[in-house]
Structure 1
Amino acid sequence: MRIDLHCHSTASDGTDTPAELVRNAAAAGLDVVALTDHDTTRGYAEATAALPEGLTLVTGAELSCRVDGVSLHMLAYLFDPEEPALLAERELVRDDRVPRARGMVERLQGMGVPITWEQVARIAAGGSVGRPHVATALVELGVVPTVNDAFTQNWLADGGRAHVEKHETDPFEAIRLVKGAGGVTVFAHPAAGKRGRTVPESTIAELAAAGLDGIEVDHMDHDDETRARLRGLAADLGLLVTGSSDYHGSRKTCVLGEYTTDPEVYGEITRRATGAFPVPGTGGA
Structure 2
Amino acid sequence: MSTSRSLTRRRRTVAAIAATLALGVLAACGDDEPGDAAGDPTSQAADPTTDTASPTVQPETSDPATEVPTDAPGPDVIPVYYVGDTPQGDRLFREFTQASGVDKLVAAAAAVTTGDPVDPDYRTLWPTGRFASVEQADDAIVVGLADDTWLTRGRLDRARARLAVQQLVYTLQGTIGERLPVRVELDGQPAGTLLGIPVRDGLKARPQLDVLALVNITEPAEGSVVGKRFTASGRASSFEATHIWQVEDASGKVVLEGSAMAEGWIDKLWPWEVEIDARKLPPGRYTFVARTDDPSNGEGGGPTEDTKRIRIE
- TM-score normalized with structure 2 length: 0.27
Which structure carries more strand by proportion?
A: 2
Which structure carries more helix by proportion?
A: 1
Q: Which has the higher contact order (CA 8 A, sep 6+)?
A: 1
Q: Which has the larger radius of gyration?
A: 2
